[in-house]
Structure 1
């Protein structure tokens, strides 16, 4: 053994193997190895939601009962296919979130449609993919799961269903813990009816035009969700500015960008409405969480 290590290049080889092993472990730890931290009951937080007493009226693009009304339109703008859902609810408790496999943790993932099905969601979109990061506030259905701040702007949904935007670096989770939901991705697209992004705004190193998922509020109990296809010959995708313009033009006072790209998925009555893609194939990406409307 001593003779083997007497050659300097052999030490270099061993050191290189150690580096490769450490690098591989870091990648696996970040993207593959699941770390389940909390198993979440199927119903948490404020339980004021009332079941449907009258049979809902349902079509391929709409849903209506005494508490929830949803209508979805598909349009072509900016060389992209855009799906717009107009949603009205009678109580904030019908705006919910859910974790993949009902589990809060790192790299715990499932398709948006599968998470939605597990919750009997009427309408669902992908969330903020909290499980991809170690930082960023996580408050879901009134329960705090993570209080470590990121550099993101966070979307706060209070218990009356009203939206607001805060900077995590300036506001501690302790002051937000009485709210209904806190999502951490961003950026904010519209605040007080004013667009807050410009033509140079983007998420990290993302391309200028992408599949997008975002949510906005028009008034009390009245919301707008926009998902766009992208990265295909048929649909280029939206810039953040184009996305913000759509929300502003439709009357939103607050709008917020969620995880996009290959994660962007809209599900309605168990069917995937858009065409999720990573640019190579049309299929759903597994994500860590969803935002949904239902009982």
Structure 2
């Protein structure tokens, strides 16, 4: 049963810190082979942190977000947005606050929307809004909310990007802090109705962001100002990911699928600043 008392309550602040090594570990977790993301001492190459690392620090890590007495194996990541107020640094420390802003009744489940804000000594660094779908927790008579779906471009994609995830991709990614057993423990995954452990949604999100930075930002992660997307299906470690992307004004619309054609992130958009 959902604890509706969490609505509107601000959790925190708590502190999250990271080092250059953490940035390298995260980059490898999302399959990076680009030297700027995966090394710190390559000749003529300055290390950069991937902006989606901000989510690895503040989502599904301690302190755990509690929705009430609900079955954790039936909680799915539904939507995610990230807004960067400044480029995400290779190392740093932030003060984090989190608030549940909405709880919607979707019938077959409940959608819990949360906002995270993080600031360092220079001020706000990033904000993020995530939605968790709690299967079987709907039907309580609440508002359904509005649809966040938007039409994707109807033309052929400007770029089609591919990445073959490794069979141990989730085991590498979990070293950045998300130790949810749905991504590593076959017995636990089966309790949630899954045939095998699945890849973290935020790992797929990070892989997608990395590919788009390479294709549309000349590999410069500092140009990313935001990213949003809706998770629609799980990825199995070892799946090949295909990102269809469309250049649009100051950003890139995208959809991520498996090579078999299953859409796994829909209604995606990456926001980019101009070249430095």
Q: TM-score w.r.t. structure 1 length?
A: 0.25
Structure whose alpha-carbon radius of gyration is higher? 1
